[in-house]
Structure 1
Amino acid sequence: MKAYSYIRFSKQSQAQGDSLRRQTEAIRSYCTKNNLTLSTQTFEDLGISAWKGANADTGALGAFIKGCESGAIQTPCSLLVENLDRLSREHVRKAFGLLLQLLDLDVTIITLMDEKVYSPDCDQMDLMVALTYMSRGAEESQTKSDRVRKAKQAKREKTLAGEVKFTGNCPKWLKLNKDTQTFEEIPEFVETLKRIYDMRSKGYGIVKILKTLNEEGIRAFGLKIVKDENGEPVKDKTGKVKKVPSKWSQTTVVNYLKSRAVIGEYQLKERGVPVGDPITDYFPTVIDPELFYRVQDTFTKVTKGRTTTFRNALTGLLSCHVCGGPIKFDHVPPKKGRKHAPNQYLRCKSTYERKTTCFKGMINYSGVLSSVIAMTAYLNFNKINSEDYEALTAKLAELETNRIDTEAKLNNLSAVIQAGVTAPNFVKDANRLSSSLDEIKTDIDSTKAKLSSVEPSEAMKSIDSLDLESEQGRRDLNLFLKQYIKKIEVTKNDVYVTFLSQQIPDPIRAPLGANYNNPELLSDYIDKTDLALNIEDYFEFDPE
């Protein structure tokens, strides 16, 4: 009868200890002593716990059972284990059921600690002994689990109270000080992190950031183990495993750009499920929060894993003056080998889809853009920016903080509910938080609308300085226009601009293709509009 070996230990760290050698030596010794033929096919679950039955479900023990059931492993045979708790540490009913399953498959279980043999025809007394052993193993695991859980809970409470750090593990740009109470920045890594955020905020794609880091030889934060040609770790003269800096990857860059640890937050988790609210100011803040949230916005528009190219500087503002529907932007690149500029044009989406007949044909995009820039360039910003900018800015910052906190609480509570944890007030609290979040978002939109008409833009004093050939230049112009413009309506010949400022309540009409270097043409159109305001007060030229 052929014998098979089964070796298991719960943690990967035990591979550095004596467990593997001890179990292997015991199996060989027993086979030699009892003239058993040990199969060269071994079954090992190294670093897999038997507390939840993972070894029997998806591990090597499960593979052994399936082999016996399919006939790939011929039975009768023997399975050698150090003791019964190597097979299972689940509740005694499940653990004992696993033993009976193996016996029913005509597998003899041999435990090496006491050299006890459990054969398929063993008597009731043998089964009682096995039941006792398995019950004790399950109780020990339950006791250990309870102790660990209580210890973690106590430490979690101290962490929330700010008394201790929950773990020494921290982001790779930080290290835990010897006092175990504070973290220290690693200057080289923090500077690299700031460089990554800066590149992303300027419109760099992930691939371009990755290429820049690797080409400039900027060291990655992590380390990787050096392995020989056989895949085995290489050790230095002192016996330590050699490690070298790892290379940058797209996943690493994205993870750093989305990590809330850069703004000092830490989220406690229990088995992967967030517990409680994120702890603020847990880590040192290394990235300005305003820059962090600006970078998060760059991940909102993605197509097939790649950020979309920002070609239309009027995105989010355009509509049809006739039907009020959306305007479609088309970009046709020049044909291969030709140097002329790409064709960019606009058309009413409803007409394009044959739902309406507002106007046929296409509108020159550059003509619309030129008219919008012309009107915006001559706005009297000092007159428009008369509201309390600082007060609105402070209110918006407070609302954004409340939104982030409320979203985090709602996400954590939803994760707990989805994990199967229930309590009488959980659903009620989730509904309350959801309603509160809706109110906060409404207030944010309202405040942004007010702020848009008063926010100064020192960096954009000269629209002419923008490089609209670059993606970043078009983004900057779009952000600038949205500070002052509510919507832009187009027809075949004219552009109608509605400003956010309540001081200019009616749309301003301008000809398609108006140029702000020729204010006479523009002022003639503005003069012809029936506005209940003094034009000279709000535009910095005097229409004739």
Structure 2
Amino acid sequence: MTVVELLNKCGLVKPRVISYTRFSSRKQAKGLSEIRQVEAAKEWCDKHCLELSDHDQFKDLGVSAYSGANSTTGALAALQAKVAAGAIPRGTILIVEALDRLTRQSLPSAISLLMGLANSGLNVVTMTDPDKVWNSETMHDLGSFLMSVVTLYRGHQESAYKSDRLRKTFRKHRREGSQQAFGAAPGWLERESKVHPWTVVEERAEVVRKVFELAVAGLGSKAIAARANTEKWPIPTRLSKNDSIWHAQMPGQLLRNRSVLGEHQHRIRTHEANAQHWHGLAEGEPVKGYYPQIVSDELWAAARASVRGRFVHKRRDANFYNLWSGLMFCGHCGAPIHRKTEKKGYSKGQLQCSARLAGATKCPSMSAVNADFALLQAVYGHSHQDLADAQAVAKIDGIATLEAALADTEEQAQLAGDLVFKTGGKVPVFVNRSVRLAEEAEDLRRHIEELRALQLGDGGTGAFDEAWLETTMSFLYVADDVEALEARAALNLRLGRIVEAVWVYAYDCAFIKFRDEKLPLALPLPSKQLPSRANPQAKHHKPPPERVEKFKPIWAAHNDPAFELPEPKRPAARARKFSQLMVNLERVEEEDAEEVAAEL
């Protein structure tokens, strides 16, 4: 059927006209693809005295038709849904530049999509053949049907050929260690062309180093992002929908990005790989020295240690009022203690059992100010050098850094061991990697033990500071102050490296388990009493009655041999994602094992 025949069939009633525009790559947004397609549709409408309104234009910009993303989650999917719901009436004309704008999938999927549009009552017109109409009547004609099949097949084959050619090109450049085929890089790097080396944009690199330094100081991703937006730091990433805003996850992403060390991980980014992971699938081991290094190995390791110290509990307290986050548990049931901050009033906040908040128990709560003072006093009295002595602090930080590196190495070694098992030990690159990581982990364990022995053998040189507790309490509850926030964050990080767990029995007693010590330290907590509002300067002042310490049943019974503390119910550690080596294990034959290893 031709367009003229269709319009004559409609008579005086002009059909509704809609258009569909698509291109595959975001880079094409800088070109004229969208403008060309829209203007062609409007010119066609003007030629046939029809109207195309703005709200009748469906656009998939930067969406693949080869993967089918446009027809599953894109604007084409929305168009199909409106047709199915009757929002777009039968007889509507759909203008596209070519059939391959609709789909570049394999024939079964492509024909099904086109037939679905035609059978739903749409009249598809392409600008490559603007006088022909594709609809249910046309598709009954053998010649037209075969023409559509050939057109759709040609579009799929063209995309498949390009995809295969690019895969071979990238594989060749990966094997040769060339950087010329890979144009993308982190946002703090730039180069004149693909044949020139990468150079550092120092302004952005300095921002990245600030992120790592603040992470070492104990700040989390949200706190760093808030400071970056307040101080208007430049955005150091390559892609950003809004170049002026740091989102809350951006610092965390930078802290996990090994590109700051100069490493690059090659990735397969086909639509099959992206279906498994949005970032594609890694191929081979990371390439060291690929980019200029902007963060030192020492700063990276220290930041990773700080991040791992916060890893098992999600930071809900952006101002770090809760010094015991991730460390404090209910003595009655073992559930984590949550802090409800109160900026006004005496208590400064309430320490509440999370199980009680969920309605599972009736464990009592306690004011934060009483618990904080007593616990800090006990911790400083027990480990004042580990909190204040520079030499002791450096040793503890060194141990924490090595422990974080050991945890990362052990997880990567486990991954490598799994690959060795799945391939039956027939791929040498996996075996060698597993052995190397196991040796690195053993070296780290030995180094950690040496540092611990030095820590125990050296008592430190720091003197007991009577004013430390008063100084600490002075910034503990100060709101809207950057220095106080950073001081609380640093103290939270320091406590996490000294203390393993704290059990609190509200207004009774607490137990502090220090790292590398078997028995917890027991201490009584203040009884529940409201602060005195008596004014000694008042004319008729009467001294308040003397406070009598209430009976503490847990404190009285804690020396009983039968007394036991509940097991802390720690949140499950968040699954850590490591780049997996891209290998289709089903295709690895015994005779091809060496070839696969060579490719990786």
TM-score, normalised via structure 1 length = 0.62
Shift in Å at residue 142 of structure 1?
Answer: 0.9
Which runs of structure 2 are paired with 1:121-160 in the superposition (5 Å)? 121-122=137-138, 123-159=141-177
- 1:448 is aligned to 2:433: no
After superposition, give the CA deviation of every residue in 1:51-103 in whole Å (9 maximum; x if it has no partner).
12222223333333333322222213332322222222111122122222222
Shift in Å at residue 268 of structure 1?
Answer: 1.9
Whether contact under 8 Å (1:224, 1:246) holds in the other structure is no
Corresponding letter in the other structure for 1:157:
R
Question: C-alpha separation between the residues in 2 aligned to 1:335 and 1:13?
Answer: 50
Distance verdict in 2 for CA 1:456–1:431, change over 3 Å:
same
RMSD: 5.7
Which runs of structure 2 are paired with 1:395-474 in the superposition (5 Å)? 404=408, 407-408=411-412, 448-455=448-455, 461-464=461-464, 467-468=468-469, 469=472, 471=488, 472=490
Question: C-alpha separation between the residues in 2 aligned to 1:309 and 1:26?
Answer: 61
Question: C-alpha separation between the residues in 1 aligned to 2:81 and 2:194?
Answer: 52
- 1:116 is aligned to 2:132: yes
Whether contact under 8 Å (1:168, 1:176) holds in the other structure is no
Distance verdict in 2 for CA 1:280–1:341, change over 3 Å:
same
Question: C-alpha separation between the residues in 1 aligned to 2:84 and 2:515?
Answer: 76
Question: C-alpha separation between the residues in 1 aligned to 2:513 and 2:147?
Answer: 87
Corresponding letter in the other structure for 1:128:
L
After superposition, give the CA deviation of every residue in 1:29-50 in whole Å (9 maximum; x if it has no partner).
4444445565662233333221
Match of 1:72 in 2: 87
446-455 or 114-123, larger mean C-alpha shift:
446-455
Distance verdict in 2 for CA 1:42–1:110, change over 3 Å:
same
Shift in Å at residue 265 of structure 1?
Answer: 2.5
Question: C-alpha separation between the residues in 2 aligned to 1:62 and 1:496?
Answer: 58
Whether contact under 8 Å (1:7, 1:44) holds in the other structure is yes
SS in 2 for 1:4: strand
Q: Which has the larger radius of gyration?
A: 1
**Which one of the candidate residues 302, 308, 312 is aligned to 1:297?**
308
**Which one of the candidate residues 258, 268, 273 is aligned to 1:260?**
258
Question: C-alpha separation between the residues in 2 aligned to 1:93 and 1:327?
Answer: 55
Which runs of structure 2 are paired with 1:79-478 in the superposition (5 Å)? 79-114=94-129, 115-122=131-138, 123-159=141-177, 163-164=178-179, 167-176=182-191, 180=195, 182-216=197-231, 218-221=233-236, 246-271=244-269, 272-283=280-291, 284-287=293-296, 288-303=299-314, 305-306=316-317, 311=323, 337-338=345-346, 365=375, 368-369=378-379, 372-373=382-383, 404=408, 407-408=411-412, 448-455=448-455, 461-464=461-464, 467-468=468-469, 469=472, 471=488, 472=490, 475-476=493-494
Question: C-alpha separation between the residues in 2 aligned to 1:26 and 1:275?
Answer: 42
Question: C-alpha separation between the residues in 1 aligned to 2:377 and 2:342?
Answer: 19
Corresponding letter in the other structure for 2:21:
I
Match of 1:521 in 2: none
SS in 2 for 1:250: coil
Corresponding letter in the other structure for 1:143:
Y
Corresponding letter in the other structure for 2:307:
Q
Distance verdict in 2 for CA 1:463–1:218, change over 3 Å:
farther
**Which one of the candidate residues 18, 22, 33 is aligned to 1:19?**
33
SS in 2 for 1:302: coil
Question: C-alpha separation between the residues in 1 aligned to 2:312 and 2:144?
Answer: 66
| Higher relative contact order (Cα pairs below 8 Å, separated by 6+ residues) | 2
Shift in Å at residue 183 of structure 1?
Answer: 3.2
Shift in Å at residue 191 of structure 1?
Answer: 3.2
Question: C-alpha separation between the residues in 2 aligned to 1:131 and 1:341?
Answer: 73
After superposition, give the CA deviation of every residue in 1:296-351 in whole Å (9 maximum; x if it has no partner).
234324345446656469969x9x9xxxx99999999999555x99999xxxxxxx
Question: C-alpha separation between the residues in 2 aligned to 1:183 and 1:257?
Answer: 21
Corresponding letter in the other structure for 1:462:
G
Distance verdict in 2 for CA 1:366–1:328, change over 3 Å:
farther
Question: C-alpha separation between the residues in 2 aligned to 1:476 and 1:128?
Answer: 73
Match of 2:366 in 1: none
Distance verdict in 2 for CA 1:134–1:369, change over 3 Å:
closer
Whether contact under 8 Å (1:197, 1:295) holds in the other structure is no
SS in 2 for 1:61: helix
Question: C-alpha separation between the residues in 1 aligned to 2:415 and 2:287?
Answer: 15
Whether contact under 8 Å (2:412, 2:437) holds in the other structure is no
Question: C-alpha separation between the residues in 1 aligned to 2:410 and 2:375?
Answer: 42
Whether contact under 8 Å (1:314, 1:369) holds in the other structure is no
Corresponding letter in the other structure for 2:91:
P
Aligned residues: 445
Question: C-alpha separation between the residues in 1 aligned to 2:209 and 2:294?
Answer: 11
Question: C-alpha separation between the residues in 1 aligned to 2:502 and 2:316?
Answer: 30
Whether contact under 8 Å (1:176, 1:183) holds in the other structure is yes
Shift in Å at residue 13 of structure 1?
Answer: 3.2
Whether contact under 8 Å (2:261, 2:295) holds in the other structure is yes
Shift in Å at residue 5 of structure 1?
Answer: 2.6
Whether contact under 8 Å (1:457, 1:480) holds in the other structure is no
Percentage identity across paired residues of the two chains:
23
Distance verdict in 2 for CA 1:144–1:124, change over 3 Å:
same
Whether contact under 8 Å (2:205, 2:294) holds in the other structure is no
After superposition, give the CA deviation of every residue in 1:345-378 in whole Å (9 maximum; x if it has no partner).
xxxxxxx999xxxxxxx9964675466349999x
Match of 1:4 in 2: 18
Question: C-alpha separation between the residues in 2 aligned to 1:170 and 1:191?
Answer: 17
Shift in Å at residue 177 of structure 1?
Answer: 6.6
Unaligned runs of 5+ in 1: 227-243, 345-351, 355-361, 383-388, 514-544
Question: C-alpha separation between the residues in 2 aligned to 1:147 and 1:464?
Answer: 70
Shift in Å at residue 462 of structure 1?
Answer: 0.3
Distance verdict in 2 for CA 1:434–1:413, change over 3 Å:
closer
Question: C-alpha separation between the residues in 2 aligned to 1:301 and 1:68?
Answer: 48
Distance verdict in 2 for CA 1:180–1:327, change over 3 Å:
same
Whether contact under 8 Å (2:416, 2:433) holds in the other structure is no
Whether contact under 8 Å (2:83, 2:89) holds in the other structure is yes
Match of 2:557 in 1: none
Corresponding letter in the other structure for 1:27:
A
TM-score, normalised via structure 2 length = 0.57
86-95 or 37-46, larger mean C-alpha shift:
37-46
424-433 or 264-273, larger mean C-alpha shift:
424-433
Question: C-alpha separation between the residues in 1 aligned to 2:37 and 2:190?
Answer: 38
Corresponding letter in the other structure for 2:295:
V
Match of 1:357 in 2: none
Question: C-alpha separation between the residues in 1 aligned to 2:225 and 2:112?
Answer: 53
Whether contact under 8 Å (2:183, 2:194) holds in the other structure is no
Question: C-alpha separation between the residues in 2 aligned to 1:62 and 1:327?
Answer: 47
137-146 or 443-452, larger mean C-alpha shift:
443-452
Corresponding letter in the other structure for 1:286:
V
Distance verdict in 2 for CA 1:28–1:313, change over 3 Å:
closer
Distance verdict in 2 for CA 1:450–1:507, change over 3 Å:
farther
Shift in Å at residue 125 of structure 1?
Answer: 1.5
After superposition, give the CA deviation of every residue in 1:242-279 in whole Å (9 maximum; x if it has no partner).
xx962444333332233222233222222222222222
SS in 2 for 1:464: coil
SS in 2 for 1:117: strand
Shift in Å at residue 11 of structure 1?
Answer: 2.6
Question: C-alpha separation between the residues in 2 aligned to 1:39 and 1:189?
Answer: 44
Shift in Å at residue 126 of structure 1?
Answer: 1.4
